[in-house]
Amino acid sequence: MHYNLDKAFKQIGEYGRAQWLLTFVNCIARNGGTYVYYPFAYLVLEQQFLCYDPASILSPPTQCTAADVCAARDVDPLYSAYEVDKSYQYYLDNWFTQMDLLCYTPAKIGMMISAYYVGFAVGGLFCAFPDRYGRRKSCMLGLALSTISQTVMLFSSSFWVRFAMFFLSGFSQIKNSVSYVWLSECTSKPYKALSFTYINIVDALPIVLTCLFYMFVSKNWLHLPLLFTVLSYLALFLAYVCPESPRWLLVNGRSQEAIAELNKIASMNKASKSIPTNAMFVEDPTHIQALIEGASRRSEGMVEVIDISPTLNKENDT
C-alpha cells in the first residue's frame, strides 16, 4: 500500500496526544532558559541603598547609590554599613546585590549576556547536527545543556561561573531551530502553521510574564527561573518518550523505523488504525529511486521500439 505522510497522519491522528506532548516539550525546550537571559536587564538593575555613618551608628541611614558605596570601599575595603532600600520604586532582590556588582562597570556586567550571544554563534556551527543525528537527539542534547546551565546559575553567585553558563546556554540553542522542525514533521500540513503559532506564543511569554511576576507576585528573582528549570527537567524526561520525526527517518531511508514511530504516534493518539509494516512511502528515497529506475527502464524499452520500427517497416515493404 502506498502512503504519503499527510495520508498517514490523517489515519493515526493529525493533532492528538502525541502532538500535544511534542508541543509542550518543544515550547519548554525553546523557552525554558529565557527566564534568565530575557529579563537580564532586571536581574542586573542597579538598586538604591541606605548607608550608615560608621562614626555614628545610632544616626539614621541616608539614601545612597552604588557609587557612594564604592567610594566608601576605596577608603575602607571592609566597608559594609549599608543595606538595600526596599522602599525604592524599582526594588528587586536581584543579581546586583547577590553577586555584589556594585563596583562593576556596565561593560563588565554586560559581558555575561554577551557570552550568551557568543555561545549562540558558536552553536550555529553545529546547525547540521539535527539532519545527521535526528530531531529528538538534537533537542534532548540542547535541552540538557540548557537545563544544566540554568541549574548552575540558580545556585552559583560567582560572576565567572555565570559568565560560562551564559555561554553554555547560548551554545545549547540548537534546540531553538529544531523545535519547529520536529513538531511540524510530526503532523500534517494543515496543522503545521498552528504548531508554529503555539511555540511563538510561548516564546513571547517571558517578556510579559517576568514583568508581571516581579511587579505583582514576588520581588525575588529566583522563584520564576526555578519554576521553569523544574519544567525543563520534566520536558527533558518527556522528550525521551516522544516519537522521532518519521519524515527524517524516511528521508534517511529508515522506512521500518519510520513506520514504528508512526504507529507509536497512533498508539499515543489512541487511533483505531495503524500503519501496515509493508507500507510504501513516497517520501522514502529508496522507493523514489525504484520508481525512477522503473520509469527509466520503461522509457528505454520505448526507445528500442522506436529504433527498430523503421527496420520492420522496410522489411514489410520488401
SS3 per residue for the chain: CEECHHHHHHHHCCCCHHHHHHHHHHHHHHHCCHHHHCCHHHHCCCCCEEECCCCCCCCCCEEECHHHHHHHHHHCCCCCCEEECCCCCCCCECHHHHCCCCCCCHHHHHHHHHHHHHHHHHHHHHCCHHHHHCHHHHHHHHHHHHHHHHHHHHHCCCHHHHHHHHHHHHHCCHHHHHHHHHHHCCCCHHHHHHHHHHHHHHHHHHHHHHHHHHHHHCCECCHHHHHHHHHHHHHHHHHHHCCCCHHHHHHCCCHHHHHHHHHHHHHHCCCCCCCCCCCEECCCHHHHHHHHHHHHHHHHHHHHHHHHHHHHHHHHHC
- Residue 291 pLDDT exceeds 90: no
State percent of the chain over pLDDT 70.
Answer: 88
Asked if 82 and 116 sit in the same domain, the reply is no
Is 97 a member of any domain?
no
Is 180 a member of any domain?
yes
User: Tens digits of per-residue pLDDT, 49-82?
Assistant: 999 877 776 778 899 999 999 988 888 887 778 8
Is 224 a member of any domain?
yes
Query: Per-residue confidence at 311, pLDDT binned at 50, 70, 90?
Result: very low
Query: Per-residue confidence at 315, pLDDT binned at 50, 70, 90?
Result: very low
Query: Per-residue confidence at 147, pLDDT binned at 50, 70, 90?
Result: very high
- Residue 172 pLDDT exceeds 80: yes
Please tell me the predicted confidence (pLDDT) of residue 105: 92
Please tell me the predicted confidence (pLDDT) of residue 57: 65
Residue ending a domain, choose from 91, 125, 152: 91
Asked if 85 and 108 sit in the same domain, the reply is no
Is 277 a member of any domain?
no
- Residue 281 pLDDT exceeds 90: no
Asked if 240 and 120 sit in the same domain, the reply is yes
Please tell me the predicted confidence (pLDDT) of residue 248: 94
Is 276 a member of any domain?
no
Asked if 53 and 152 sit in the same domain, the reply is no
Please tell me the predicted confidence (pLDDT) of residue 284: 63
Is the C-alpha dihedral spanning 88, 91, 96, 98 positive or negative? Answer: positive
Domains identified in the chain, total number? 3
Please tell me the predicted confidence (pLDDT) of residue 290: 55
Asked if 9 and 140 sit in the same domain, the reply is yes
CATH number of the domain at 252, please.
Answer: 1.20.1250.20
Please tell me the predicted confidence (pLDDT) of residue 202: 87
Asked if 135 and 85 sit in the same domain, the reply is no
Average pLDDT, the chain: 86
Higher pLDDT, 317 or 233: 233
Asked if 256 and 112 sit in the same domain, the reply is yes
Is 278 a member of any domain?
no
Please tell me the predicted confidence (pLDDT) of residue 258: 93
Higher pLDDT, 285 or 249: 249
Residues 177-181, mean pLDDT to the nearest whole number: 89
Asked if 13 and 158 sit in the same domain, the reply is yes
Asked if 116 and 215 sit in the same domain, the reply is yes
Is 294 a member of any domain?
yes
Is 307 a member of any domain?
yes
Asked if 133 and 17 sit in the same domain, the reply is yes
- Residue 131 pLDDT exceeds 60: yes
Domain extent for 309: 284-317
Query: Per-residue confidence at 263, pLDDT binned at 50, 70, 90?
Result: very high
Asked if 115 and 256 sit in the same domain, the reply is yes
Asked if 53 and 37 sit in the same domain, the reply is no
Please tell me the predicted confidence (pLDDT) of residue 269: 94
Q: The pTM is what?
A: 0.83
Q: Using CA atoms, how far apart are residues 181 and 204, in angstroms rounded to an integer?
A: 19
